[in-house]
Amino acid sequence: MAAGAATESATNIKVSVMHPGLTATRLLEQASAAEMPPAFQHMTPLAPELVTRAVVKAARRGTRRVVLPRMAHLMLLGEAVSPRLGDWIAEALTVKSVAWLLGLSRGRIYHDVIPYQPSPDNLERKAV
């Protein structure tokens, strides 16, 4: 009977895939601006609270996929059409004016929001 109950509850599991863009967390604080992924160098990071609200909303509604910021759907669509198109879009996002036109750059970049904290490894690499 317990196995049946476990099987029954397992059928009610729903999965949401989250695609948050650059988020203002401490994940990349030890990366210098030059070490940031090129497409992130001009992006304004999303507030963690925005991402959290999107996760909770997706869980409540059973949304299958959430892409933040919404404009990032463009890159996923390009990748689905052609990997080369996806690469071209990602490359275009490395240009500050393109990121700004798409609303992905609002002037503040990651290290304006999260101060750069070099790790001992980063300091050793620079000294060598």
Strand-pair partners of 67: 19
The reply to whether 99 falls in a domain is yes
Q: How many domains does the chain have?
A: 1
Assigned domain for 108 exists: yes
pLDDT band at 122 (very low <50, low <70, confident <90, very high): low
pLDDT given at position 57: 94
- The answer to whether position 43 is within a domain reads yes
Identify whether 123 is part of a domain.
Answer: yes
Q: What angle do CA 95, 115, 99 make, to 5 degrees?
A: 15
Q: What pLDDT is recorded for position 121?
A: 63
Domain of 38, in residue numbers:
17-127
The CA distance from 108 to 35, in Å, is 17
Structure tokens at 67: 């892409």
Closest C-alpha to 76, from 89, 63, 64: 89
Tens digit of pLDDT for each residue in 13-60?
A: 888 999 998 898 888 888 887 888 888 888 888 899 999 999 999 999
Task: Supply the pLDDT for residue 84.
Answer: 93
**pLDDT band for position 12 (cuts 50, 70, 90):** confident
CB 75 within 8 A of CB 94: no
Q: How far is CA 110 from CA 6, 32, 53, 79, in A?
A: 44, 10, 20, 25
- Name which residue leads in pLDDT, 85 or 1: 85
| pTM attached to this predicted model | 0.69
Q: Is residue 10 part of a domain?
A: no
- Residue 93 sits at φ, ψ, to 5 deg, of -70, -15
Task: Indicate whether 51 belongs to any domain.
Answer: yes
Residue 7 lies in a domain: no
Distance CA 113, CA 16 (A): 28
Which of the pair, 126 or 94, is modelled with greater confidence?
94
